[in-house]
A and B are shown apart, each in its own frame.
Chain A
């Protein structure tokens, strides 16, 4: 028996169709557990555009929407590991506008959907995904897995250009000084007029007397005064 689950918000509707591996009903409220996904569709109510696909698409869709909403809240980009190269869903900020660009390209029939979402529409999209993530009876293998990104993803508060300017100016100044000094003439050696020529050494005066001094004086003897 096919199970159908629907999650909706004012601007968005998410429909999942799937099967249950286990025929037993859940003891919670009698609803069966959807464990196999056949098809998923996301309808945008302000337009007639639909994005849809199987399990790969849905995993990528959930991951992209969830990561982008965190990125929106913190302003720090989240890396997305997609489950397959096809059926990718991409959400990007539209620069200078309060809009979010959604792109999805279907792998089989080359259908491409591109649309701009306002922040309220983006929130509605996130809401439908979060309603699904909060539902323990639908595809429990796709779990809530949101974690903060580490420090290395943090963009520096000051732009690189601004931070590099003082260093660049310093290096450039040093380089210019070096180049200018290359053209400067090498100073000639100046003779100091006060400097006297150094006297020539006289070997007879300077040679040390290697002979033992023989001055005739007696060598003091120990115990002489005894």
Chain B
């Protein structure tokens, strides 16, 4: 993840808040890119028109130089190797930070909904009810599964595994939802960003 400084002007404050770490291997880049895209996918499953909100948030966070439009956002997200349209591009440090800042800002906006869904999940599991009994939770899981199936490459072994096992895919959606809760916290952005480099630095 080379750091391409912004030649057009000052760096957005939100990028200054996230520290730089040296990444140990190309595989680490791939894992980080994959995680960022999946977190954004979970956000899209939470709210209709999620990508529009992401672009709006990019503008609010003064990240327009990094994420200029919908096509750029889509191309950056296609750095996830699980994608059907995997571009093999490597995200720059600023692009990765920009996407994390957007995800955490959206997670903060949706904090109440995320809490409600996780509380509902806990209650359903405690009572032994299927998760689909809760309408909002069912809606989130259904949307996540649909987004995952339409965008991820079924020829990838892990994707094929998730597509064949609905329970495993639901668990992936829930684990991303739990992470989104932490992303929306007071220091959520910093915590999530640092967690991406866990086990990846020398």
Show the binding face of A for B, using Cβ within 8 Å: 69-70, 72-74, 76, 78, 98, 118-120, 123, 126-127, 130-131, 133-134, 144, 146-151, 153-155
Q: Give complex CA distance A207, B72 in Å.
A: 94
Decide if B194 is an interface residue (CB 8 Å cutoff). Answer: yes
- Given A98-B178, A119-B178, A134-B186, list of 19 further CB < 8 A pairs? A72-B178, A72-B182, A73-B191, A74-B198, A76-B198, A76-B199, A118-B119, A120-B118, A123-B181, A130-B186, A130-B191, A131-B186, A146-B194, A148-B195, A148-B198, A149-B199, A151-B24, A151-B200, A151-B201
Asked whether, in the complex, the Cβ of A123 is within 8 Å of the Cβ of B182, the reply is yes
- For this complex, 6 residue pairs linking A to B, each with C-beta atoms less than 8 Å apart, are A98-B125, A131-B186, A148-B201, A151-B200, A153-B198, A154-B198
Kindly name the residue among B122, B179, B186, B198 whose own CB sees the greatest number of chain A CB atoms within 10 A: B198
Closest 8 CB pairs of A and B: A154-B199, A74-B198, A73-B195, A148-B197, A130-B186, A74-B195, A130-B187, A76-B198
Decide if B151 is an interface residue (CB 8 Å cutoff). Answer: no
Decide if B190 is an interface residue (CB 8 Å cutoff). Answer: yes
State whether A146 and B199 are in contact (beta carbons under 8 Å apart), knowing that A123-B185, A130-B186 are contacts in the complex: no
The secondary structure that dominates the B interface is: helix
List the B side residues contacting A155 at CB < 8 Å. Answer: 199
- Shortest Cβ gap from B164 to chain A (Å): 19
List the B side residues contacting A134 at CB < 8 Å. Answer: 186-187
Interface residues on B, range: 20 to 34
List the B side residues contacting A131 at CB < 8 Å. Answer: 186
A78, closest chain B residue (CB): B198
Asked whether, in the complex, the Cβ of A120 is within 8 Å of the Cβ of B122, the reply is yes
- Number of A-B residue pairs having CB atoms within 8 Å of each other in the complex: 85
List the A side residues contacting B148 at CB < 8 Å. Answer: none
- Shortest Cβ gap from A200 to chain B (Å): 73
Q: Give complex CA distance A126, B118 in Å.
A: 16
Asked whether, in the complex, the Cβ of A73 is within 8 Å of the Cβ of B186, the reply is no
List the B side residues contacting A120 at CB < 8 Å. Answer: 115, 118-119, 122, 181
- Shortest Cβ gap from B30 to chain A (Å): 13
Asked whether, in the complex, the Cβ of A147 is within 8 Å of the Cβ of B187, the reply is no
Decide if B192 is an interface residue (CB 8 Å cutoff). Answer: yes
State whether A73 and B182 are in contact (beta carbons under 8 Å apart), knowing that A133-B187, A148-B197 are contacts in the complex: yes
